[in-house]
Amino acid sequence: MTGILVLPPFLLLAIGSFWGAPPGDPGSLSLQTYIEAYSSPETYRVLWNSVYIATCKTFLALIWGVSMAWLVTRTDMPFRGLIEVLIPVPFFIPGLFSIFGWIHLANPYNGLINQFLQFIFGFEKPLLNIYSYGGIIFIMTLGSASFIYLLTVGAFRGLDPALEESARTCGAGLLTTFFRITLPMIAPALLGAFVLSFIRGLEAFEAPVLLGSPVKIYVFTNEIHRAVTFRDPPQYGLAAALGVTLIVITLLLVFAQWRILGERQFFTITGRGYNPHPFKLHHWRWPAFAFCSLNFLLDGALPIAMLVANSVSSIPGVYRWELITFRHYRTAFMDEVVIRSLYNTTLLALLGAFIGILLSVLIAYAATRTKFWGRRMLDLLSWLPWTLPGIVLGVGMLWAVLMLPGYSVLYGTLWILLISFLIKGLPLGVRAVTGSLVQIHHELEECARIHGASWGQNCRYVLLPLIRPGILAAGVFFAYAVLRDLSTAVLLYGYGSEVLTVAMLRYWAEGRVQVVSVLALTTLLLLVILSALQRLVVRKSPGAAWDSPPGNKPAAA
């Protein structure tokens, strides 16, 4: 089942890149699409843009994210508990919202920051221009800093501070200890964060298409989108060839990471206990607090505040009390496309969470609790979609539905979107459930079997209650995939199957920016409700069974 779900987009994408005709038409295998793609200087310019932007934003985000992780875990910075809550928040806010917010803040025409600087300092020309290489890199860096923080903060917590304390005892300063002792010992986490962040940079779609397209800055992802959407006839073979190139780059990065880490050992956690002593920042404590708060301010509070202000402003870019109006909300929710998009998004989020949970539980259980001969391959297949950028997944799904017999009925429907969202959410969903399963000792299940419990009762009364947090997290990941994704949906939707992210892109192209702000805030509200429900269910009865046999109380393990 997992192979049927995951493999067709990969295989059909690879075949499509060598197919000498549009999908569904008679053709033969050839290198013609690759010759056409890589004989054009435009391809190399687009490749350079992709690598340049991904590299710049990865290094900047790595510096920012690692610095925040170190300050939170290894120093006496004030309000560390509050900062630990604020830093991850931007990761769970769709990047599309940050882009829309910063367009209102830093566009060269009526951006609020430019207006403020011109009013205060008398600049004749706007100082900031979000439609530029710098603007794209800035937005993508904001989106990756909290992501890298989440990937590295655990490594900092698990690092034995004895080595750092020894360096300080020998006279090493703060920066010397950090660069020569701390960073080398967390190299696995750093390398993993770099690779994953670089891959996210290569697959980024929203920032390049919204900020780069107006000034003709193109990367691989929006070049794939242009090949399928804006060329007549659509160049599916070119899109497939460019998509395969992205997959090859991604796989080479993952392989290089494995080779590098396989040659070294990084043991820092031993059986000896330790009590870390945080570095004293002295007069740098409050600047450090301000630095860590900056990420939440720039990638959370400011963009959302701009969306709110723009949703109630009569004139885009002009914010005055007398111009406040709520007619844009009325206009949005009386629009047939908006209502349909909201319904489709909610339906797909619920179906995606439910089906995704079932798939994740079955795959995680087979991989961790059985002796099934193919369990390693099953686990690998669940990881495979992580190497597939969203826009490339969309191209692969297009080839699948147009080439495979009987699949053409899915084209432009909600079902093809649902399958794509399930594929995209599978890696994180399976990891969430697997993380909970591996913490449960087999003796609990053995004890239940000794007392006569069947396999079904064992799962119902022992495993499921204990892995409830992982199950809920998996459901949230699948729902997030529906609520946040644009790059996959933009190639697969049809009339009647629009989702909120696609509707936002359409209305933005039409210049209806207030309606876009309303839709963005609506999506954000759905995300908040989703997170609140997850926390409510987890906290309501932690560790308790979902239901108990009549006349019995769940026993404490």
- Supply 444's token pair: 């609990």
The dihedral over CA atoms of 292, 428, 435, 465, expressed in degrees to the nearest 10, equals 110
pLDDT of residue 343: 92
* 327-546 carries CATH number 1.10.3720.10: yes
**Rounded to whole angstroms, how far apart are CA atoms 247 and 9?**
12
pLDDT tens-place string over residues 171-206: 666 667 766 766 666 766 677 778 778 888 888 888
**pLDDT profile of the chain (557 residues), mean per 10:** 71 78 70 84 89 93 89 84 82 80 86 84 84 92 86 69 66 68 69 79 85 88 80 78 82 72 46 57 87 88 86 76 83 88 91 89 79 71 73 79 74 87 83 69 68 70 72 82 82 85 85 85 83 68 41 39
pLDDT of residue 270: 42
**Rounded to whole angstroms, how far apart are CA atoms 554 and 557?**
9
pTM for the whole structure: 0.76
Residue 124, amino acid: E
**Rounded to whole angstroms, how far apart are CA atoms 344 and 496?**
9
HSE-CB of 215 using CA atoms within 13 angstroms = 15
**Rounded to whole angstroms, how far apart are CA atoms 388 and 325?**
43
Q: Is-contact 77 282, C-beta < 8 A?
A: no
DSSP state of 79: T
DSSP state of 278: P
pLDDT of residue 393: 80
- Supply 137's token pair: 């890199």
What is the DSSP code string of 378-415? Answer: HHHHHHGGGGS-HHHHHHHHHHHHHHSTTGGGGTBSHH
Q: Is-contact 187 264, C-beta < 8 A?
A: yes
pLDDT of residue 455: 66
116 SS3 class: helix
**Rounded to whole angstroms, how far apart are CA atoms 198 and 51?**
9
List all residues 6 or more positions away from 330 whose beta carbon is below 8 Å from its beta carbon.
none
- Residue 550 preceded by cis peptide, ω within 30: no
pLDDT of residue 257: 65
Short-list 511, 332, 503, 494, CA closest to 412: 494
* Buried/exposed code over 414-453 (b: 16+ C-beta within 10 A; e: otherwise): bebbbbbbbbbbbbbbbbbbbbbbeebeeeebeebeeeeb
In the block, tokens 């060269």 appear at: 108
